[in-house]
Structure 1
C-alpha cells in the first residue's frame, strides 16, 4: 500500500475510533449524534480536519464534491456545536500514535533522544462571547463583539517529521499560563 493510502487509512481508523464512542465527546450524551443525519460524526470530524481557509459553503462544496444533496452550512454549525474539542484531540493523538509506530525516524539528530522543535504563533479571530472564553478577548476594537487572540505553540518531531502536540493559550500578556 502506498504511503498516502496508509496515512488515509490511519486517519480513518482514528476517526472511527472516536466515532465508536462518540457519546464521550458530545455535550448532551445520549441525545447528540444518535439520529441518522446528513452530517454524521465521522463526516463532521473529517470535514473539520480537512477544512481550509475558504468560506464554509465553498469548503463544503469541495468536501462533498458539488453534491446537490449535501448538508447546509446551518446543519454543519448545528452538528459542530454538539461536538467537544476533545474529539479532535483524540483523533490527533490516535493518528499520531499509529503513525509513530509505523514510521521509523527519518533523521537521527541525537541518537537516543527525541528532538522536538517548539514554535509559537498568535492568531486573531472574530467570535462571540457565547463561543469563546473571555480570557481570549483582546479588545472591543471597532466592533461591538471585539476580537480574540489565541497563542498556539506547536511541537514538531524533527526525526519523524510530524507534529506531536500543540498548546493553545490566551495571547494576552499576563494571562499566559505556564505549566
Structure 2
C-alpha cells in the first residue's frame, strides 16, 4: 500500500481543496536537496582543503543521510542497521570523525532548501497562518558552553539548556523555520526577517512573544499578527497603563506613539515610553534631551505608511 500524506484545507471559504504528497516524492525531494548540498561540500567542511577531498566509505552525502536517519539507538546499532555487519561496514569511530568534519550550517541550509522545495503556501481567506512557539532542550552538561550553562545556588546538579523556537505552518502542518536563541523575542524577529515570502501572513504566538518590537518587525514587512498578551493588571505586560474598557469582553483599536524619551514634553504628548533596556529596533537606544521627539506610531486606522502598526486589543471572557 502506498503511504500518502494528504493535506486538506478550506480555500478562502469557497470549497474544500486537497493537496496530496506521497512520502516517496518527499523522500526524493530530500535526497535531491542533500545532493545539491553535497555539490558544495567544501563550503560546509571544517577543513575545506582536506575534508571530503578523497573517496571514502562515508562521503559527505552519505554522512548527512545517515545522520538524518538516526532513531535514538546506540550508534553501533544504527550503523549496523543501515550498512549491515561485515568487514567493509564503517565503524563508529569512522562515522564520528566524518560527522565532525561537517559544520552545523550544512543542516541549517539543508532545512531551508528542503522547505523551499516542498512548502508551497496554503492560505485561509487569503492569509498564510504561521504559529510560533518555543521549547527548552536539555543537552549534555558542558561548563564551557557558558551561554546555556546553568548552576543553581543549591546543591542541585548543573545543566545546559537550549531554547528552541520554531515556526509552524498551521494549514500545511509543516515547520518552515527554527532557531536556537537565548531570548524568544530575538528569535521571533529573526524568523520573521528570514521569511521572504510575499504571501500575506498572520503570525500567531503566545505570551512569551508579547513585545512591541515583535509587532513592529511584522508590520514593517507588511504582515499581520495575533499575539496573546498579559492581562492589563500585570505591570510587566504591554497592556499595563493603556486606557482599556472595563469588562470581560471587548475589541478596541488603539493609536500608540512610542518613544524612548520620558521628558515633560513626551509626557504632555501622551507618548508610550519604552525603556532604553527594552529592545525596539526602530528607535535609537539613546537620544539627546534636546533632540526632536520622533515617535514610532502604531495606528490601525492608517496603514499606508510602513511606520504604522496594527494594534488591536481583544479580551474574551474566560469560560
TM-score where L is the length of structure 1: 0.80
**SS at the partner of 2:48?**
coil
Return closer, same or farther for 1:150/1:112 CA change in 2, 3 Å cut-off.
Answer: same
Are 2:30 and 1:11 equivalent residues in the alignment?
A: yes
Q: Distance in 2 between matches of 1:38 and 1:51?
A: 18
| CA displacement at 1:147 relative to structure 2 | 3.2
Bigger drift between 23-32 and 68-77 goes to 68-77
Q: Is the 8 A contact 2:149 2:161 kept in 1?
A: yes
Structure with a larger share of its residues in strand: 2
1:81 to 100, 114, 136: 100
Give the whole-Å Cα distance in 1 for the aligned partners of 2:150 and 2:56: 37
> Match of 2:159?
147
RMSD, aligned CA: 2.5
CA 59–142 in structure 1, closer or farther in 2 if over 3 Å, else same:
farther
Alignment partner of 1:58 is 2:77? yes
In 1: Cα distance, 2:46 partner to 2:91 partner: 21
* Residue matched to 2:252: none
Q: How does 1:44-123 map to 2 (within 5 A)?
A: 44-64=63-83, 66-68=84-86, 69-101=88-120, 105=122, 108=123, 110-123=124-137
Cα offset for 1:153? 1.1
**2:149 alignment counterpart:** 137
Query: Hey, which of these two has a bigger chunk of helix by percent?
Result: 1
Highest Rg: 1 or 2? Answer: 2
1:169 aligns with 2:181: yes
- For the residue of structure 2 that corresponds to 1:111, the secondary structure is coil
**Structure 1 residue 9: Cα displacement:** 0.8
Write the deviation string for residues 60-117 of structure 1: whole angstroms up to 9, x where unpaired: 22222x242321111111111111111111111111111124xx63xx5x32211112
Structure 1 residue 158 corresponds to structure 2 residue 170 = yes
Number of equivalenced pairs = 165
For 2:174 and 2:149, locate their aligned partners in 1 and report how far apart those are by CA, in whole Å. Answer: 31
TM-score of the pair, normalised by structure 2:
0.47
CA distance in structure 1 between the partners assigned to 2:98 and 2:143 by the alignment: 19
State the Cα distance separating 1:21 from its structure 2 match: 0.4
Unmatched 5+ stretches in structure 1? none
Deviating 4+ runs (over 6 angstroms)? 140-143
Q: Distance in 2 between matches of 1:52 and 1:134?
A: 29
Q: Which residues of structure 2 form unaligned runs of 5+? A: 5-21, 190-319
Question: Could you tell me how far apart the structure 1 residues matched to 2:47 and 2:75 are?
Answer: 25
**CA 55–139 in structure 1, closer or farther in 2 if over 3 Å, else same:** farther
SS for the counterpart of 1:152 is strand
Residue 128 of structure 1 deviates from its aligned partner by 4.4
